[in-house]
């Protein structure tokens, strides 16, 4: 049995294994853990209310698994914040958190600032656009951290391999995962191919890990996290949980191209830093795509910055807030 096969046997779970929420809560309380749920948002008024209502009613009021539910917003132009607050979430503008560090638009920025703003020993991140939201999107991710102290970072994946009429439906990630990230991992970090959906937006992580890693502000945040955690703590630091099914809006091929560009830049930066791929100079932040306008072919240039935030633990403000010694 290979290392990947052993890991898949021991560190891959199904949310149904954690159906006993009272047992999970008892173990959480025995360990003295606190858990924060972070929902990063930008113009999500159509789905955010349902998510907040469900998590609050099921995992705070009925089963006290979560200690905090927070929405961190990038500057929505719709009623995302009003809806989230009305249904009981703590709401924050990303720009108002750590104002001394300024504000950069991007999902990774929200995730990074959540480390400063939220209180939990564990932070579970859940995207705001899930149409079939269910408590498993939180408890299925935090449970391996509670039951397995050596696990540090738990990723979600969706769908299951189903045997039907003698055939097995392939299991995998989304389009960018299968076309870009999985080939890159296969070439340069083969053990990370054990993660079924490395780009999934749902994951739970111990604070002690989050505060020590860099955060790209854009599309590359998940890929960078996996490489940074893997190179520091190894494959055994990860687990993954099958959440069955996720229904959400799909992006256009053009938008996926922009996402892939940001991910590739972040990957190449990490590969360079680890001495895997020699690169000189800075990579361009300009993606070139095409459109047709009145029978003329036009090249459209998109600026896709992949700036990075430093490890939160390096900030004096964070160290003061957490009662840590100055660096």
State pLDDT tens for residues 33-83: 999 999 999 999 999 999 999 999 999 999 999 999 999 999 999 999 999
The answer to whether residue 164 scores a pLDDT higher than 60 is: no
Domain residues for the domain of 78 are 3-251+310-322
The answer to whether residue 264 scores a pLDDT higher than 50 is: yes
Model confidence at 168, in pLDDT bands (50, 70, 90)?
A: low
Determine the average pLDDT of the residues in 292-315: 89
- Per-residue confidence (pLDDT) for residue 228, from 0 to 100: 97
Is residue 278 a part of any domain in this protein? no
CATH of the domain at 215: 3.90.550.10
- Per-residue confidence (pLDDT) for residue 306, from 0 to 100: 77
The answer to whether residue 150 scores a pLDDT higher than 80 is: yes
Determine the average pLDDT of the residues in 75-95: 97
Model confidence at 291, in pLDDT bands (50, 70, 90)?
A: confident
Cα distance between residue 266 and residue 77, in whole Å = 29
Determine the average pLDDT of the residues in 138-154: 98
- Per-residue confidence (pLDDT) for residue 281, from 0 to 100: 81
- Per-residue confidence (pLDDT) for residue 172, from 0 to 100: 59
320 membership: H or E segment, kind and range = helix 316-322
Model confidence at 170, in pLDDT bands (50, 70, 90)?
A: low
- Phi then psi for residue 275, to 5 deg, are 70, 20
0.75 exceeded by pTM: yes
Is residue 281 a part of any domain in this protein? no
Number of domains composing the chain: 1
Determine the average pLDDT of the residues in 238-245: 94
Residues in the chain: 327
The answer to whether residue 290 scores a pLDDT higher than 70 is: yes
Is residue 90 a part of any domain in this protein? yes
Strands, E, within the chain: which ranges? 12-14, 35-41, 68-73, 90-93, 122-125, 153-157, 163-164, 167-168, 203-206, 215-216, 238-242, 286-293, 296-303, 308-309
- Per-residue confidence (pLDDT) for residue 171, from 0 to 100: 58
The answer to whether residue 247 scores a pLDDT higher than 70 is: yes
Model confidence at 165, in pLDDT bands (50, 70, 90)?
A: very low
Model confidence pLDDT, tens digit, residues 181-214: 999 999 999 999 999 999 999 999 999 999 999 9
- Per-residue confidence (pLDDT) for residue 161, from 0 to 100: 46
- Per-residue confidence (pLDDT) for residue 279, from 0 to 100: 84
Is residue 193 a part of any domain in this protein? yes
Is residue 75 a part of any domain in this protein? yes
Is residue 152 a part of any domain in this protein? yes
Is residue 239 a part of any domain in this protein? yes
Is residue 177 a part of any domain in this protein? yes
Positive/negative CA dihedral, 51, 52, 53, 59: positive
Between residues 4 and 294, the one the model is more confident about: 4
Model confidence at 246, in pLDDT bands (50, 70, 90)?
A: confident
Residues 6+ apart with CB under 8 A from 149: none
The alpha carbons of the chain give a radius of gyration, in whole angstroms, of: 20
The answer to whether residue 125 scores a pLDDT higher than 70 is: yes
Cα distance between residue 205 and residue 320, in whole Å = 22
């Amino acid at each position: 049995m290979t290392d990947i096969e052993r890991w898949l046997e021991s560190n891959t779970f199904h949310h149904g294994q954690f159906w006993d929420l009272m047992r999970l809560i008892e173990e959480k309380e025995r360990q003295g853990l606190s858990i924060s749920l972070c929902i990063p948002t930008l113009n999500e008024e159509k789905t955010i209310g349902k998510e907040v209502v469900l998590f609050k009613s099921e995992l705070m009021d009925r089963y006290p698994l979560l200690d905090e539910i927070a929405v961190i917003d990038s500057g929505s132009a719709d009623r995302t914040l009003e809806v989230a607050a009305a249904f009981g979430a703590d709401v924050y503008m990303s720009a108002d958190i750590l104002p001394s560090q300024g504000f950069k638009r991007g999902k990774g920025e929200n995730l990074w600032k959540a480390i400063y703003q939220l209180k939990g020993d564990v932070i579970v991140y859940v995207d705001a656009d899930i149409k079939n939201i269910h408590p498993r999107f939180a408890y299925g991710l935090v449970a391996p951290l509670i039951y397995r102290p050596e696990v540090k970072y738990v990723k979600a994946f969706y769908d299951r391999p189903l045997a039907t009429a003698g055939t097995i439906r392939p299991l995998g990630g989304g389009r960018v995962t299968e076309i870009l990230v999985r080939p890159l991992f296969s070439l340069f970090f083969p053990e990370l191919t054990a993660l079924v959906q490395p780009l999934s937006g749902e994951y739970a992580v111990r604070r002690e890990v989050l505060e020590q890693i860099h955060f790209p502000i854009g599309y590359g945040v998940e890929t960078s996290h996996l490489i940074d955690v893997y190179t520091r703590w190894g494959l055994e630091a990860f687990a993954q949980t099958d959440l069955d099914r996720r229904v959400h809006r799909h992006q256009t091929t053009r938008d996926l191209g922009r996402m892939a560009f940001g991910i590739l830049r972040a990957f190449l930066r990490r590969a360079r830093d680890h001495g895997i791929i020699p690169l000189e100079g800075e990579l361009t932040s300009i993606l070139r795509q095409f459109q047709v306008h009145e029978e003329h072919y036009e090249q459209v240039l998109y600026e896709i910055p992949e700036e990075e935030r430093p490890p939160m633990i390096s900030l004096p403000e964070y160290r003061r807030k957490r009662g840590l010694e100055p660096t």
